[in-house]
Amino acid sequence: MTKTRFTLLFSGLFLLFTNTLIANELNSVPTEQVTKGSTVSTPTTNANEAIATNVLDTKNRYVYQVNYKSISIGKMTQEYHWTGKDVEVNSVADFSFLYFSFGGSQKSDIDWDEQQKLFLSRSFFRQSVGFSVVDMTVNFDKDGRKTHVVNNGEKAEYTNDSAPIVDFNTITLQISEGLKAGQIDFEFYMQTSTSVAHYFFKVVGKEKIKTKFGELEAYRVEQVRKNDRTFIAWFAPTFENQMVKFHYKRKVLDINGELIEHNNTKLQ
pLDDT (tens digit per residue) in 166-189: 999 999 999 999 999 999 999 999
Counting the structural domains of the chain, the total is: 1
Of the ranges 7-16, 122-131, 156-165, the best mean pLDDT one: 156-165
Average pLDDT value for the chain? 82
Q: What is the pTM of this model?
A: 0.81
Alpha-carbon span 135 to 117, nearest angstrom: 31
Assess whether pLDDT exceeds 60 at residue 3. no
pLDDT at 102: 78
Q: What is the pLDDT of residue 266?
A: 62
pLDDT of residue 253: 86
Domain with 69 in it: 3-266
pLDDT in tens, 79-101: 999 999 999 999 999 888 777 77
